[in-house]
Chain A
Amino acid sequence: MQDTRALTIALAGNPNAGKTSIFNALTGAHHKVGNYPGVTVEKREGSLEFQGWNIHIVDLPGTYSLTAYSLDEVVARDFVLNEKPDIIVDVLDSTNLERNLYLLLQLIELGLPVVAALNMADEAAEKGIVIDHTILSKTLGVPMVPTVGSRGEGARELLETVISTFEAHTLPRMPSYGADIEAHIAALVELLKEDKDFAAAYSPRWMAIKLIEKDPDARKRIEHHARAAKIHAALEAAWHWITLHYGKDAEIILSEQRYGYIHGAVSEAIHRKRLRGISLTERIDRFVMHPIVGLPLFFFIIWAIFKLTFVVGEYPVAWLEQLFGYLEAVVQHSTLPAMIQDLLINGIIHGVGGVLSFVPLIVILFFCISVLEDTGYIARAAFLTDHFLHTIGLHGQSFMPLMLGFGCSVPAIMATRTLKSPKERIATILAIPFISCGGKLPIYVLLAGTFFPKNASTVVMLMYAGGLVLSILSTFFLRRTVLRGESMPFVMELPPYRMPTLKGVLWHVWEKTWSYVRKAGTIILAVSVLMWIITSYPKAKGIEEFASGAQASVAEALPELSDAAIAARVEVLVRQYQLEHSIAGQIGKIIEPVIAPIGFNWKIGIALIPGFTAKELVVSTLGVLYGAPADESGESPSLRQSLREAPDWSPRIALALMAFILVMPPCFASLATIRAEAGNKWLAFQVAYSLVLAWLISFLVSMLGRAAGM
């Protein structure tokens, strides 16, 4: 007999309070990540069954307060006000209770039942903080359950308390702002209640408090109220009175009153034992944030992460490449029609495979970053990098997206969500494409290795450095012109170091990887097919005659070759012929006049086009164009040979091409991500900006090269 009842929980709490681990402990594998409608704020939802209840949990963004100044806070409060969940669970960091209670008070004021989880109970105990949660619960009127989210302790008790609170319909006690201010609040509440519809939509007390607090969002909403004018008058009176009696702005006074209420509530409930010695966190921070040692240590950590990523990543990448090679063989030996085979192999397997086979690198990179995040090191890194980043107009928090850009632009751009200021966020997003992503590396390696054999690694490093410099200069310039504006205040919590849990980190990695694969994967699939179409169609006329002619001339020129070897070479020549006559070939010829001043011909023009699917594909396209059959790595030794011998190539051209690839717009997956995170306007700007800049810079490089006699 089905007797399930349902309820929805909104999970709130400060950042760093362990809300995510509570969410994971409650929902386990049954959760999904999406977006709040219309905004780039992540929404996590999950569900579970417990004691006959079907419980749906929505993870609100972590916030310190519920003002209207921050998108996260607006999203959180709008969700509660509009969607009206059944109950709110506030996850509190027990080691830091007062500041965490500040949010709790505001959640209470929303008018829904509230249950609090006193999380990190283990850490509080270690710090010698003893919280009598029965007293605290009674004083605040909110049921409190000690939990240790990282170990899943207390989850059951929490759920039981949630259910009993919901069933009893108990509402928490409203915090008091002192008799005088309460009088003003009461007057406003009376006026607000006069509009019945309004009062039904928004809790009058909450609205009254927000109005006194000069909340911009509340002010906007009140315009629809029937008694708007009288309310304005009452507000003015309230503000005037407050300024007169307290000498401070009403906004600030309300915050102060809240903390006063909190101090009163906790004084009986918290006891602290004095601790001996310096905390471990401080000991570590002496090195990590040391004025001299700190930055080098930071760079070392970054270097170590990249090293680890590439060294460990080699294995899975090789396996995946083998897997795709196997798939290719399967298709080749199947009985599918030739065109489908061609589509599958050249379109999909090469295109998608080439890109997805480096997903293991992304995963490892995400893993390292997640560990850093969960330990709390990221805040220290923001501390160390903020000064420099501020000089170019960015934020200490921008450093992580920029760092991810060395791996792949897509997760890097998605990581900019942590930046709250829109201008700084867009500036960071625009800075990322100039940082050489992983896809550009094969091109650098090919060209540097071919044309600068003695200095190959130096040239590659030069490209990376150049990208970084360009990124910095570009941001500096943009922040003073197109994206001019005040910097977001930099005030950030510095949490104590915490040991990450394997489960927690793996969840992070899984979520990030999945959204990356889903986003990039679908775009890359679509674009790969598109590329295949424009490089294989229209079918070149006279291709059979060409093929037999080629057969004859190869056999004549190189009689010592076996039939199989001749066939292979002929196949390459045929593909070249096809490519030249395809749409891509036409495009290449059309853009040739534009790129000619740099020294590029139409063949290079064609090679650039797949660069929009994924930069790695430029190499394999060059392989086709210059008659070297591609092997698994997309490159072959003879390609280098062909390039060296080709009359239209030289070290100067190679350098100019590398520069062009460095600066040109990023792959379609990145462009799609930019569009999702920054909007169409900035996408168009990014494309135009980087195309023009790419041309100018590679032109410059080409001229300098000519002057240097290359």
Chain B
Amino acid sequence: MLLAELGPGEKFKVMRVVFGGEIGKRLADLGFISGTEGEVVRAALFRGPMQIRLGDYDLIMRRHEARLVEVELLPQTAAKKPTPEARTHIDLRPHFRHGLSHMAHGIRSRRPVSGKKPHSCH
């Protein structure tokens, strides 16, 4: 499916950029590479640009450009529990943690917490 078809909160993995030429190259240069993971942060209904989190940074793009990126929709992870764990240092090298399954390139993007603030623990 195409990136333009996704809605807010949906996570994806880039399959390929559909067209080459200038815009295709630009997208590839910015990180739309096969295997990169991202998330749609914001997308107003049918209109206006989308905000995409791609790895470590955010960008905005029109639906028109988003139609040039073929993606695979990733299963949404379950609702986040407020985590005391979050305070520990997590070493993200590939041979760790089973939960971090999408480790294609050894990098994990920072996961934003959706919705409510996590219950703050002391």
The answer to whether A259 and B61 touch across the interface, beta carbons within 8 angstroms, is: no
Contact with A along B82-122 (1 / 0, CB 8 A): 01001101111110000000000111101111000110000
Q: How far is the CA of A252 from the CA of B20 in the complex (A)?
A: 7
Q: How far is the CA of A490 from the CA of B23 in the complex (A)?
A: 10
Seen from chain B, the residues whose Cβ lies within 8 Å of a Cβ on chain A are 16-17, 20-31, 33-34, 36, 42, 44, 47-49, 51, 55-62, 64-65, 83, 86-87, 89-94, 105-108, 110-113, 117-118
Q: Which residues of B contact A279 (CB under 8 A)?
A: 112
User: Smallest distance from the beta carbon of B7 to chain A beta carbons, Å?
Assistant: 13
The answer to whether A276 and B118 touch across the interface, beta carbons within 8 angstroms, is: yes
Query: Which among A69, A96, A263, A379 is the interface contact of B106 at CB below 8 angstroms?
Result: A263
- Does any Cβ of B come within 8 Å of A453's Cβ? no
Query: Which among B16, B60, B83, B117 is the interface contact of A379 at CB below 8 angstroms?
Result: B60
The answer to whether B57 and A493 touch across the interface, beta carbons within 8 angstroms, is: yes
- Does any Cβ of B come within 8 Å of A649's Cβ? no
The answer to whether A277 and B60 touch across the interface, beta carbons within 8 angstroms, is: no
> Which residue from chain B places its CB closest to the CB of A94 in the assembled complex?
B56
Query: Which among A255, A275, A278, A379 is the interface contact of B29 at CB below 8 angstroms?
Result: A255
The answer to whether A390 and B92 touch across the interface, beta carbons within 8 angstroms, is: no
Complex interface residues of chain A between 99 and 134 (CB less than 8 A to chain B): 99, 102, 127
Given A69-B22, A102-B29, A383-B49, answer yes or no on A493-B59 (Cβ-Cβ < 8 Å).
Answer: yes
Among B21, B25, B87, B113, find the residue whose CB has the most chain A CB atoms closer than 10 A. Answer: B25
Query: Which among A98, A271, A490, A495 is the interface contact of B49 at CB below 8 angstroms?
Result: A490
Q: How far is the CA of A271 from the CA of B94 in the complex (A)?
A: 11
Given A492-B59, A493-B57, A494-B51, answer yes or no on A65-B112 (Cβ-Cβ < 8 Å).
Answer: no
Q: How far is the CA of A218 from the CA of B16 in the complex (A)?
A: 26
Q: How far is the CA of A493 from the CA of B53 in the complex (A)?
A: 10
Q: Which residues of A contact B86 (CB under 8 A)?
A: 274-276
- Does any Cβ of B come within 8 Å of A709's Cβ? no
Q: Which residues of A contact B112 (CB under 8 A)?
A: 278-279, 282
Query: Which among A98, A260, A291, A489 is the interface contact of B65 at CB below 8 angstroms?
Result: A489
The answer to whether B60 and A494 touch across the interface, beta carbons within 8 angstroms, is: yes
The answer to whether B55 and A99 touch across the interface, beta carbons within 8 angstroms, is: yes
Complex interface residues of chain A between 490 and 511 (CB less than 8 A to chain B): 490-495
Q: How far is the CA of A489 from the CA of B90 in the complex (A)?
A: 38
Contact with B along A264-280 (1 / 0, CB 8 A): 00111011111111110
Q: Which residues of B contact A272 (CB under 8 A)?
A: 90, 92, 107-108, 110
The answer to whether B61 and A490 touch across the interface, beta carbons within 8 angstroms, is: yes
The answer to whether A270 and B107 touch across the interface, beta carbons within 8 angstroms, is: yes
Given A489-B65, A491-B60, A494-B51, answer yes or no on A127-B28 (Cβ-Cβ < 8 Å).
Answer: no
> Which residue from chain B places its CB closest to the CB of A63 in the assembled complex?
B29
User: Smallest distance from the beta carbon of B54 to chain A beta carbons, Å?
Assistant: 8
